[in-house]
Amino acid sequence: MNDFVFAPPPVVAVPVVGSSARFPVHRVYCVGRNYEDHAKEMGFTGREPPFFFVKPANTVVVVDRDNTPLPYPTLTQDYQHEVELVVAIGQGGSNISAAHALSHVYGYAVGLDMTRRDLQTEMKKQGRPWCIGKAFDHASPIGPITPAAQVGDMAQASIWLDVNGQRRQSAQVHQLIWAIPEIIEHLSKAWTLQAGDLIYTGTPAGVSKLQRGDRLHGHVDGLQDMVSTVV
Ligand code: MN
């Protein structure tokens, strides 16, 4: 029955490696400062408890290996990349214990938590919300999701990002301050997780400013790479 006052927006969905079915996105959660070296480059000790922010599902942009264009956002002079391992939740719940957390994971992908750093910094300074720095259009590029059953222990994976062929960010997932099961435990105390939630788990050091024409190549061992050019 057509009882909407206008057509509802399309479901945001991410391709799944090895399947024609797509992963429908519910929410996008991000973990702040979750690698010690990045926390330090942002001026913190790296020992704070985990904290989270949320981006709308419609900030997700699917980026595959085919050099998907990524539009340079408005209002910023300091548009930055943050390469992150993304956890895709397949089974929801609240108060999920770390011991059971991985059974809630559908799969994993490479993602970018794009940031208008100048606006984020100004909002931090003024004690205002980060939305304008983090939750803008096209702010959450993601590669295809690989089902968890097809990957090994993600903690042993390497994560890196090249810009124009130069390595800018590089780490091992086991260097996360808060590991994936602990992130899910903490998050699910604050929100009821649902199938379709994406969790951007935090970025290593080396975030830097991008220009139009820059080519980004993100990688996590065992997952499909993402390649994109800023336009
Ligand atoms: Mn981030």
The rounded Å distance from CA 96 to ligand 1 centre is: 23
User: Where are the domains positioned within the chain?
Assistant: 16-230
The fraction of the chain above a pLDDT of 70, given in percent, is: 100
Q: Which residues surround ligand 1, an ion (CB under 5 A)?
A: 82, 113, 203
Report whether pLDDT(1) > 70.
no
CATH number (2.60.120.560, 3.20.20.450, 3.90.850.10, 2.60.40.1580) of 16-230 reads: 3.90.850.10
The rounded Å distance from CA 86 to ligand 1 centre is: 10
Q: For 164-192, b where at least 16 C-beta lie within 10 A, e where not — what string?
A: eeeebbebebebbbbbbbbbbbbbbeeee
pLDDT tens-digit readout, 3-46: 999 999 999 999 999 999 999 999 999 999 999 988 888 888 77
The rounded Å distance from CA 33 to ligand 1 centre is: 7
Report whether pLDDT(140) > 80.
yes
The rounded Å distance from CA 8 to ligand 1 centre is: 29
Report whether pLDDT(215) > 70.
yes
Angle CA 110–116–121, to nearest 5: 120
- How confident is the model at residue 5, as a pLDDT? 95
| Averaged pLDDT of the chain | 96
Q: For the residues 141-148, what does the mean pLDDT come to?
A: 98
- How confident is the model at residue 105, as a pLDDT? 98
